[in-house]
Amino acid sequence: MAEVRLTAEGIAKYEERLEFLKTTARTDIAEQIKIARSFGDLSENAEYDAAKIEQARIEYEIVEIETMLRNVVVIDEENVSTETVNVGATLTIKNTATGQKLTFQIVGSAEASPRDNRISNESPVGAGLLGHKRGERVDVQTPGGVATFEILNIGK
């Protein structure tokens, strides 16, 4: 797996999720399997099949998170440059066509959440803005066509 870029907050969230999966989720699914087994013939037991599928999903997610955390590169938000756009920076940009202003943080793809104003450095807008400076107008190829953004502010 390639390196995964996460903020300290993102690492904490994944570690918390991993702990939940290894303790609570594993215990709960083991209990569901035990109950399903008590229903009898396993060859025609839908509850047992569903529980085993859920167990496999939980184990897959555990492996996925552990692998990600082994390959993590911490985004040091305290040392983020405010000179150019980079991962960890919080930007305020303006869509020059619509005048709409947007403020968001550029994060690694594993931590992206547009609803929380966190976009991936691998997304069209995130990748298109990387390396640019405050005051620049940047043309970005988006799924909806080319959009021009003016970088109003780069912060931490």
- Does residue 86 sit in the same domain as residue 128? yes
The order of strands in the sheet holding 137-142 is 118-120, 101-107, 90-95, 145-155, 137-142
**Number of structural domains found in the chain:** 2
Q: Which CATH number belongs to the domain containing residue 46 in this structure?
A: 1.10.287.180
Residue 149's pLDDT is 93
Same domain? 15 vs 65: yes
Alpha-carbon span 120 to 114, nearest angstrom: 9
Is the model's pTM score more than 0.85? no
Closest CA to 154 of 102, 87, 88, 83: 83
pLDDT in tens, 89-132: 899 999 988 989 999 999 888 888 889 899 998 899 999 999 99
- The domain in which residue 100 lies consists of 79-155
